[in-house]
Amino acid sequence: MEFINNIFWYTIPFLIVLSVLIIVHEYGHYIIARFFGVKIEEFSLGFGKKLFSKKDKHGTEWKICAIPFGGYVKMFGDENGASAPNIKKLKKMTNEEKAVSFQYKKLYQRFLIVFSGPFFNYVFAILCFVFLFMSFGEQVTKPIISEVKAESAAFQSGLEVGDYVISYDDQKIEKFEDIKRITALNFGKEMPIVVKRGDIDVKMLITPETIEKKSIFGESYREGVIGILSNEVEFIKYKNPAVAIGQSFKYCNQMMTGTLKALGQIITGTRSGAELGGPLKIAKMSKDFAEQGFAALIYFIAVLSVNLALINLFPIPVLDGGHLLFYIIEGVIRKPVPEKIQEVCFKVGFGIILLLVIVITINDVKSLSIFDFIKKMFYK
């Protein structure tokens, strides 16, 4: 039980990774709220019992709490850290208090304050990739086929060694990694592929085979393969910041698209829900990436930051996306969503999040074989 025996060495990288992501996200809310004149009551890293706290000259209490799985910014007029409005308090506010209350700000201001959390995570990921691409370079494999496995999907479709892949599933191919990404998510789906063979372009149809693989946590998942390899690997450093930024945007957007497609496959049942991971898996991966070095850890933080931005935009009350949905509805109907409806939606949203946390935690515990460890403690 490596995870149990080395719990300390998992905890430190995990707390560093999680703290960075939370601070970036919550600081986005904080700085834009301050820009629009909202009074911030609390900026919390973690939940539960306070371990450390200090008030600044603006009256904001900065604190670190015992449960590190999250954080929040509590604004004036909020009932809690989830930005649920304190209806009784709002009705009794003076004009001076309304001027610094989040709930009494203009619609576009509230929208931008809420949106800024995920947006800061996205921008932070872009900056991380820009740093990596300019300092260490991006690993790129040219989309030139150096091997076609016998009887594979590629072999049956007519692909040959030396073919230069131009497009795949109607998407332009710039590197071999693009082919792997598209293939992995489209098992069993017939797709067009265009290659340059000599001086001519050849179009074919190919259907990725479905294989069962094991993740680093031991659980099975399905992935598409077509049976080709490329050995044209190189590291490209982007000295021009504009180029590095462009590549980073493209990289982040591809990850977000891939995540959405994978989640869609989980919902439709074509992909196993066991692939969903939570704190325990993140802790395990934090240690693994930290052991690979500084650049690997920055890469992992950037990937998580992109996914945190995306997940927070899901239209589930309690998440930022749920608040944004209410604001969009308010903009359409020209009045706030009724308080009772908001209250019910927040409770339902909290229930959905709680259910997801339970499912993900069970996945984590199963994948790390903790049930087997506990069983061995009592049954020899």
Active site (annotated) includes residue 174: no
Other C-beta atoms lying within 10 Å of the C-beta of residue 352? 16
Other C-beta atoms lying within 10 Å of the C-beta of residue 226? 26
Cα 259 from Cα 185, distance rounded (Å): 10
Q: Which amino acid is at 119?
A: F
SS (H, E, C) the chain: CHHHHCHHHHHHHHHHHHHHHHHHHHHHHHHHHHHCCCCEEEEEEEEEEEEEEEECCCCCEEEEEEEEEEEEEEECCECCCCCCECHHHHHCCCHHHHHCCHHHCCHHHHHHHHHHHHHHHHHHHHHHHHHHHHHCCEEEECCECCEECCCCHHHHHCCCCCCEEEEECCEECCCHHHHHHHHHHCCCCCEEEEEEECCEEEEEEECCEEEEEECCCCCEEEEEECCEECCCEEEECCCCHHHHHHHHHHHHHHHHHHHHHHHHHHHHCCCCHHHCCCHHHHHHHHHHHHHHCHHHHHHHHHHHHHHHHHHHCCCCCCCHHHHHHHHHHHHHHCCCCCHHHHHHHHHHHHHHHHHHHHHHHHHHHHHCCHHHHHHHHHCC
Residue closest to 68 by CA, chosen among 47, 87, 86, 88: 47
Cα 26 from Cα 118, distance rounded (Å): 9
Q: What are phi and psi of 338, to 5 degrees?
A: -50, 140
**Catalytic choice (2, 26, 41, 97):** 26
Active site residues per annotation: 26
